[in-house]
Amino acid sequence: MTQPTIVRHLDAGDLADQTAHRLLRAVIGFQADGRVAQLCLTGGRIARRIYDRLAELVTDSELDPTRLELWWGDERFVPTDDADRNAGPTLATFAGHFPLAPSRTHPMPAADGLIDAAAGAATYAKELGDTRFDLVLLGMGEDGHVASIFPGHASGEATTQLVIGVSDSPKPPSEQISLTLPALSRSSQVWFLVSGAEKANALRRALDGDQRLPAARVHGEDVTLWLVDRAAAAELPYFECSV
């Protein structure tokens, strides 16, 4: 288990801009030996701001979009054209700035034609196979949930599965698909993106190792990085933060 590194940013805007630059550098580094970079993306407001900025930065950079493989940590089990899906807005943003290889773009199954989220999860697990991520991006909810893994909920129970269907989700919609905690931790690096004063308590508890919170139970194999803004870090002692 890697020890977390905490980077404090001034506000959400600074967090989004600096993380986009950090992400660009990281992907270029992953690709340096000719490999395909394996990224697992998250949804949420701060993530979308990061993706918007990253898309702008890719132009004229050394990043090679043809060697970029995209996965998702979780998804709302709704129809493909539903605006609440995580993948749709992100793919639209990226496609507006650089080409995406369809064979290396892996949105989670939508509700079109599938029986339920469990069926979608089984399909995605087969697609994922033994993929190991270079980098997983994760948001964190006010309750300390990550992806669609919630505290005190069946989604957070111990499992050997990589992908699960989530029913009766505490956060709507009721059905979602999520990578499990073991799958999220099957990554060289895990970056948490946390913005807002409403998340300060959960952030402190997660960093204190409160195992009731899913966010405390995900770690990168080599790097675990918490990228937070000043509001979210309000309950952290200053000496725990590095810049």
- Give residue-wise pLDDT tens across range 3-39: 999 999 999 999 999 999 999 999 999 999 999 999 9
pLDDT of residue 237: 87
Distance CA 84, CA 63 (A): 29
Looking at every residue in the chain, the average pLDDT score rounds to 95
Give the domain ranges of the chain.
7-233
Distance CA 44, CA 139 (A): 7
2's CB contacts (< 8 A; 6+ apart) are: 219, 220, 221, 222, 223, 224
φ/ψ (deg, to 5) at 29 = -65, -40
φ/ψ (deg, to 5) at 204 = -60, -45
In percent, the amount of the chain with pLDDT more than 70 equals: 97
Q: Length of the chain in residues, anyone?
A: 243
In percent, the amount of the chain with pLDDT more than 90 equals: 91
Q: How do residues 99-153 score in pLDDT, each as one tens digit?
A: 999 999 999 999 987 779 999 999 999 999 999 999 999 999 999 999 999 999 9
pLDDT of 231 over the 70 cut: yes
pLDDT of 243 over the 80 cut: no
> What confidence tier does 49 reach under pLDDT thresholds 50, 70, 90?
very high
7-233 CATH choice from 3.30.56.10, 3.20.20.100, 3.30.360.10, 3.40.50.1360? 3.40.50.1360
> What confidence tier does 180 reach under pLDDT thresholds 50, 70, 90?
very high
pLDDT of 240 over the 90 cut: no
101's CB contacts (< 8 A; 6+ apart) are: 65, 66, 68
pLDDT of 217 over the 90 cut: yes
- Please compute, for residue 108, the number of CA atoms within 13 A of its CA located in the half-sphere on the CB side: 33
